[in-house]
């Protein structure tokens, strides 16, 4: 399942303060599209033969209405928080049968638990929507917009919309770091980093060619700190696994450099880089400063650090959910997502650069 980071988490389309787009009597003010993994999956995996699912209690215990929608959280994802900051409803899952017609005109969420940049990522969870598959589904959505708004208005919608990308965590957790990993045998860590960044760059370029211009890309968080890795690596003291975080930091640095290249190469594009890694590490290192008392054990899970099995029906979650950083072996709690969402929305360039999400949404 996609793990913490943004893609946090964790990497993803965002929302947008758009120019009005007129078409067949419909006026659109804000549209956003989200591509990514379980950090922002609203329930797409409910509709495929995947074992990476969260559409059962106690997941969603703090979500509006107490519903287990398929989100891997006790409440909202970062994408949900950003939607609220813009005064928008939560975006519907692309695979939800109700996501048709006027219901999609505010945008769509394509994110899928266990998905990655590489098509092979997440094979251990059987079905998932890879980034390439999500882009194919976005193309389907474009045709639906054209049918409802007409070609000219639809083109303006896609140009004005904000796109969130939260992806990359699983390419390590559910690919390179797996016990029997083909990619780990085939590539050194640096070669793998290059493979991922090159493929991600190609995918972002495809989205640009499909009309995307305002793209927020979130880096991968410190995967060496999540409960599943602490359990897998048999951490004796609950401290982060250094070599895993080193892999992630190499990827993040290469991704940031590549976004600068894309900005220069693709006329009219704006790429925003969200530094989830630094925000998460700061909270793991200084938990009391941010209201947390536990930053290495899942609130809901089984085994060492509650990190060996996920939050499943019958497992009783912790009572102080707003004091825990992790909800389950991989994902942050609603309390964490609320903090990160606020910072990505209005933070300074040390957090989100060259501009924040609020400023991205205000761009003409």
Residues 6+ apart with CB under 8 A from 164: 11, 12, 13, 14, 15, 32, 33, 34, 35, 36, 40, 79, 82, 216, 218
How much is the pLDDT for 1?
52
Residue range 46-68, pLDDT digits in tens? 999 999 999 999 999 999 999 99
Q: How far is CA 236 from the centre of its chain?
A: 30
User: Mean pLDDT per segment of 10 residues, for the chain of length 364 residues?
Assistant: 38 33 48 98 98 98 96 98 93 97 96 98 98 98 97 96 98 97 98 98 98 98 98 95 98 98 98 98 98 98 97 97 98 98 98 97 92
How much is the pLDDT for 4?
40
- CA atoms of 109 and 13, how far apart (whole Å): 8
Q: What are the domain boundaries of the chain?
A: 21-362
Residue 101: exposure state from Cβ atoms within 10 A (0-12, 13-18, ≥19): exposed
What's the pTM? 0.93
The residue to which tokens 């890694």 are assigned: 277
Residue range 83-100, pLDDT digits in tens? 999 988 999 999 999 999
For residues 322 and 290, is the Cβ–Cβ distance under 8 A?
A: no
Domain 21-362 has CATH 3.40.50.1110: yes
DSSP category for residue 112: -
Q: Which helix (H) or strand (E) holds 83?
A: helix 78-85
How much is the pLDDT for 30?
79
Q: What positions carry a catalytic annotation?
A: 38, 328, 331
How much is the pLDDT for 8?
34
How much is the pLDDT for 364?
87
Residues 6+ apart with CB under 8 A from 180: none
């Amino acid at each position: 399942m996609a793990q913490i980071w943004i893609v946090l988490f964790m990497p993803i389309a965002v929302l947008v303060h758009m120019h009005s787009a007129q078409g067949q009597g419909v006026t659109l003010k804000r549209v956003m599209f989200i591509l990514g993994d379980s950090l922002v999956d609203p329930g797409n995996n409910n509709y495929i033969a995947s074992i990476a699912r969260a559409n059962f209690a106690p997941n969603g215990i703090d979500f509006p209405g107490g519903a287990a929608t398929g989100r891997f959280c006790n409440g909202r994802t970062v994408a949900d928080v950003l939607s609220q900051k813009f005064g928008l409803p939560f975006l519907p899952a692309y695979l939800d049968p109700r996501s048709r017609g006027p219901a999609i005109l505010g945008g769509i969420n394509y994110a899928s638990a266990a998905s990655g940049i590489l098509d092979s990522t997440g094979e251990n969870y059987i079905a998932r929507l890879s980034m390439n598959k999500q882009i194919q589904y976005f193309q389907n959505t474009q045709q639906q917009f054209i049918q409802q708004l007409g070609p000219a208005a639809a083109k303006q919608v896609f140009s004005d919309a904000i796109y969130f990308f939260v992806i990359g965590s699983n390419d390590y957790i559910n690919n390179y770091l797996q016990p029997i990993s083909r990619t780990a045998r085939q590539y050194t860590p640096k070669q793998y980093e290059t493979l991922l960044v090159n493929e991600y760059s190609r995918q972002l370029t495809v989205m640009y060619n499909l009309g995307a211009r305002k793209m927020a890309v979130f880096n991968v968080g410190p995967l060496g700190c999540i409960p599943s890795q602490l359990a897998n690596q048999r951490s004796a003291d609950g401290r982060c696994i250094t070599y895993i975080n080193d892999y992630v930091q190499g990827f993040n640095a290469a991704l940031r450099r590549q976004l600068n290249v894309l900005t220069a190469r693709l006329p009219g594009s704006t790429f925003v880089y969200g530094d989830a890694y630094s925000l998460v590490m700061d909270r793991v290192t200084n938990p009391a400063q941010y209201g947390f008392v536990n930053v290495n054990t899942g609130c809901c899970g089984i085994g060492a650090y509650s990190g060996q099995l996920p939050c499943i029906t019958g497992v009783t979650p912790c009572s102080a959910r707003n004091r825990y950083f992790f909800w389950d072996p991989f994902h942050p709690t609603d309390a964490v997502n609320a903090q990160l969402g606020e910072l990505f929305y209005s933070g300074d360039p040390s957090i989100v650069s060259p501009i924040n999400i609020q400023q991205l949404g205000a761009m003409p």
